[in-house]
Amino acid sequence: MQLTDLSTVQAIDRLSFPTPARTGLFEHELAQNDIAHYQVLGVAGDGRSPKIIGFSGYWLIADEIHISTIATHPEWRGRGLGELLLLNLLFQAYDHPANMVTLEVRQSNQVAQALYRKYQFEEVGTRPRYYRDTGEDALLMTMPSLSARYHQFLEEQQKALYQRLQSEV
């Protein structure tokens, strides 16, 4: 993700979350937060630069990757692109001295929870009233092992996902 992507990222963020990120958050993350890492997902456009249709990010805190956000534009949901973003983040985790991956997810977001469970995240706790907009609890989920065996699992998932995405094109 680059500063030039922010207007599109913020538009997707507004369409994806009940309370979008505060103004200037992504700019701060990119320009001033050394522990923040963000990516965008684009599709080929009409000869110009790719059209951004999703984004995700994480923080590297000591030896932990904390996934902070994953979003795809509503018109592109249900096609495996959120999974693609998650998968790429998990591969990136191996570039850091990380031992575990954590995230929070809304208790009502069953679709996201199913995706995280598919990637072996386990529910380890609850953060009561975590989401200020609704007072909803967050489930704290972790994936505690970035082992060679897990990397092989990710490669298998990537292969299957790419085959699925290719068949939809």
Domain residue ranges in the chain: 3-168
Q: Please state, in angstroms and rounded to a whole number, the distance separating the CA atoms of residues 107 and 101.
A: 19
Bridge-partner residues for 39, per DSSP? 56
CA angle (60 as vertex; 55, 62 as ends), nearest 5? 170
Q: Are 58 and 67 in contact (CB under 8 A)?
A: yes
- Note the pLDDT of residue 47: 67
Determine the pLDDT at residue 98: 86
- Say whether domain 3-168 belongs to CATH 3.40.630.30: yes
Spans of the chain below 70 pLDDT: 45, 47, 169
Task: Please give the share of the chain, as a percent, with pLDDT higher than 70.
Answer: 98
- Degrees, nearest 5: CA angle 116-75-43: 85
**How much of the chain is in helix, strand and coil states, percent to nearest 5?**
40, 30, 30
pTM of the model: 0.93
Q: Give the residue numbers annotated as catalytic, written as ranges.
A: 104, 116
Cα radius of gyration rounded to whole Å, the chain: 16
Confidence at residue 42, expressed as pLDDT on a 0 to 100 scale: 93
Alpha carbon distance 133, 26 (integer Å): 19
Per the CB < 8 A criterion, the answer to whether 14 and 60 are in contact is no
